[in-house]
């Protein structure tokens, strides 16, 4: 008889030593990155370096373009100094505000330039033909030309530092620049300013034909009183300018007095011309002496019967005065002489001088004046 095998159900726990089956998401399994070869690394580094160099070069080009544009802008404004050959500079566009003739103070300017160089460049305007018109710096240009002629040193004096502007400014603006420079330096005389106003009004290139209006245009920066003096001096230089060798040395008081006399006394101009005519090699003092006599500032001298009688003198002291400028190592000084007064104006502290030395110097000066 066959025995039946009995079957038993055995429940095994899930964590009974059997590791669970690990599952993976569908898709590719990531692999570790492949190692780059030395050639690929070199190519990549070269590309990075090239790209960086191109970026730097682009930045440099941008900065150079900006600097070039700024240089052009400053040059058009005349703010860039360059060396210009002397023989390329012309003086035909503007009538100069300086009387032609010997400049006794030019020697000091030449000595300064020869020793220290030119500290203040001249101003020029470029022309279409490659040459230049002088706007400011007549005396500086004259000094360079004389130094070149005297020394022959073309390396030092063949070219002059200049700020060059491009054409475009009207004639009035160019005249104003020339005038204002000298007004600021205070080294231009009333007679020279009066002559410039007359020449400006006579220039066909300007819109002003009235000399009085020319004063208002040219000397707009000056005060009312100074413009009034310039207009008064125009009477003197208009009637006597061609007969005077030293109009720039006429003091203000003498010029005003002479202008009044020219208006008051008929026939005075021919008398002054007759006395100055043919008088060669006369000095500044000689010419001023004649003008003072005709202006009634001094008593008539011997042989001056042709001059009109001076105005009657009162018992009060005369108010006439004499003034002149002189140059010292401290700079330009001024001396004013009047009745009972002698004044010296100079950029120097005279209080630092010993009183006895100062007193002795004054005594010696007065003794020399007494002869």
Mean pLDDT of 210-227: 85
* Residue where one domain finishes, among candidates 149, 169, 189: 169
Residue 316 three-state SS = coil
In this structure, what are the phi and psi dihedrals at residue 125, rounded to the nearest 5 degrees? -120, 130
State residue 103's pLDDT score.
63
Tell me if 87 is assigned to some domain: yes
* Residue where one domain finishes, among candidates 169, 196, 213: 169
Query: In the predicted model, is pLDDT for residue 304 greater than 60?
Result: no
pTM over 0.85: no
- With bands split at pLDDT 50, 70 and 90, how would you rate the model's confidence at 302? very low
Tell me if 4 is assigned to some domain: no
Query: In the predicted model, is pLDDT for residue 93 greater than 50?
Result: yes
In this structure, what are the phi and psi dihedrals at residue 222, rounded to the nearest 5 degrees? -80, 160
Query: In the predicted model, is pLDDT for residue 221 greater than 80?
Result: no
State residue 148's pLDDT score.
92
Query: Measured at the alpha carbon of residue 93, what is the angle toward residues 87 and 98, in degrees to the nearest 5?
Result: 85
Q: Which of 105-109, 289-293, 294-298, 307-311 has the lowest mean pLDDT?
A: 307-311
Question: Which CATH number belongs to the domain containing residue 93 in this structure?
Answer: 3.90.1530.10
pLDDT-above-70 percentage for the chain? 71
Query: In the predicted model, is pLDDT for residue 121 greater than 60?
Result: yes
State residue 126's pLDDT score.
86
The chain-wide mean pLDDT, for the chain, equals 77
Give the residue from 93, 234, 231 showing the smallest Cα distance to 172: 93
State residue 100's pLDDT score.
57
Tell me if 45 is assigned to some domain: no
State residue 258's pLDDT score.
93
More reliable by pLDDT, 225 or 331? 225
Tell me if 104 is assigned to some domain: yes
pLDDT-above-90 percentage for the chain? 14
Tell me if 294 is assigned to some domain: no
Q: Which range of residues forms the domain containing residue 93?
A: 51-169
What is the tens place of the pLDDT at every residue in 178-209? 666 655 555 678 888 888 888 888 888 888 88
Tell me if 12 is assigned to some domain: no
Indicate the helix (H) or strand (E) that contains 133: strand 132-136
Q: Measure CA of the first residue to CA of the last residue in the chain; give whole Å.
A: 183
State residue 313's pLDDT score.
43
State residue 318's pLDDT score.
43
Residue whose pair of structure tokens reads 């001096």 in the numeric block: 233
State how many domains the chain has: 2
What is the tens place of the pLDDT at every residue in 240-263? 988 898 888 899 999 999 999 998
Tell me if 7 is assigned to some domain: no
Tokens, residue 123: 């101003």
What is the tens place of the pLDDT at every residue in 330-363? 777 888 887 778 888 888 877 788 777 888 788 8
CA 365/CA 371 separation, integer angstroms: 10
State residue 312's pLDDT score.
45
More reliable by pLDDT, 298 or 179? 179
Tell me if 174 is assigned to some domain: no
- With bands split at pLDDT 50, 70 and 90, how would you rate the model's confidence at 315? very low
* Residue where one domain finishes, among candidates 147, 169, 191: 169
More reliable by pLDDT, 77 or 164? 164
More reliable by pLDDT, 134 or 181? 134
DSSP string computed for 152-183: --HHHHSEEEEEEE-S---HHHHHHHHHHHHH
More reliable by pLDDT, 231 or 169? 231
């Amino acid at each position: 008889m066959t025995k039946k095998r009995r079957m038993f159900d055995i429940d095994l726990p899930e964590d009974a030593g059997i590791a669970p089956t690990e599952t993976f998401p569908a898709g590719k399994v990531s692999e570790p990155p492949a190692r780059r070869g030395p050639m690929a690394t070199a190519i990549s580094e070269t590309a990075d370096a090239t790209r960086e160099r191109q970026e730097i070069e682009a930045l440099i080009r941008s900065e150079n373009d900006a600097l070039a544009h700024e240089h052009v802008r400053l040059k058009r404004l005349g703010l860039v100094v360059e060396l210009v050959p002397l023989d390329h500079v012309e003086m035909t566009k503007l009538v100069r505000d300086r009387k032609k003739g010997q400049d006794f103070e030019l020697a000091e300017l030449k000595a300064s330039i020869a020793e220290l160089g030119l500290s203040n460049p001249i101003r020029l305007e470029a022309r279409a033909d490659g040459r230049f018109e002088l706007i400011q710096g007549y005396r500086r240009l004259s000094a360079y030309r004389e130094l070149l002629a005297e020394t022959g040193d073309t390396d030092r004096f063949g070219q002059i530092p200049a700020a060059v502007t491009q054409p475009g400014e009207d004639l009035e603006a160019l005249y104003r620049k020339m005038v204002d420079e000298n007004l600021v330096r205070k080294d231009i005389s009333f007679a020279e300013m009066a002559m410039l106003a007359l020449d400006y009004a006579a220039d066909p290139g300007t819109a002003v034909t009235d000399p009085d209006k020319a004063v208002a245009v040219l000397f707009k920066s000056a005060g009312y009183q100074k413009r009034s003096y310039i207009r008064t001096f125009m009477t003197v230089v208009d009637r006597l300018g061609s007969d005077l060798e030293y109009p720039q040395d006429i003091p203000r008081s003498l010029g005003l007095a002479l202008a009044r006399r020219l208006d008051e006394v008929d026939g005075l101009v021919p008398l002054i011309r007759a006395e100055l005519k043919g008088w060669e090699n006369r000095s500044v003092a000689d010419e001023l002496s004649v003008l003072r006599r005709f202006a009634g500032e001094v008593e008539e001298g011997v042989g001056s019967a042709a001059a009109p009688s001076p105005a009657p003198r009162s018992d009060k002291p005369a108010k006439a005065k004499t003034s002149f400028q002189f140059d010292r190592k401290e700079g330009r000084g001024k001396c004013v002489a009047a009745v009972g007064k002698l004044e010296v104006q100079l950029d120097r502290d005279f209080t630092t001088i010993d009183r006895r030395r100062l007193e002795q110097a004054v005594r010696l000066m007065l003794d020399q004046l007494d002869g």
